[in-house]
Amino acid sequence: PYTTLFRSVHGYDGSQFIRLKVTNEAGCTSKDSIQITNTPETLLRIPAAFTPNGDGINDTWELGVAPMAKVHTALPEVLDVKVYDRWGALVWYKNNGYEPWDGIDIRGRVLPVDSYHYEIVYIEGDQRKIARGSVTIVR
């Protein structure tokens, strides 16, 4: 008869080495170790902030490929990007592919420093996925 015991191990992003030692009631011990690599749920990298202040550094909100992506290097196919203000009003969208956002709303106005919420629909591999989160404009 075998007993299964589950333990949660909280680690960090990236690769880590875990050693395990198991001792039964009779005092017999066994040791093992494994290498674990935590990979992101998606290859899509979505920045949490950008600074559209004209200094040439992070002036646009640009989606990219996660740095841990070793096999896939192409940006997943982005179908639809919507950005909303804190009250839920649509301030920017792109529904025909992807292009970087410069912090200008759909009416051509410069948006103020604030947090905005996004919804991105994309295809990764053969799966349609939706990413939701927030992005902050910092000037």
Mean pLDDT computed over 110-134: 92
DSSP structural state of residue 136: E
73 vs 50, more confident: 50
Pairing of strands 14-23, 64-65: unpaired
pLDDT at 73 over 70: no
pLDDT at 48 over 90: yes
Q: Helix H segments across 10-69?
A: none
Strands (DSSP E) contained in the chain are 14-23, 29-38, 44-45, 49-50, 64-65, 77-84, 90-94, 114-124, 127-137
26 vs 12, more confident: 26
Task: Label residue 18 exposed, middle or buried (CB < 10 Å: 0-12, 13-18, 19+).
Answer: exposed
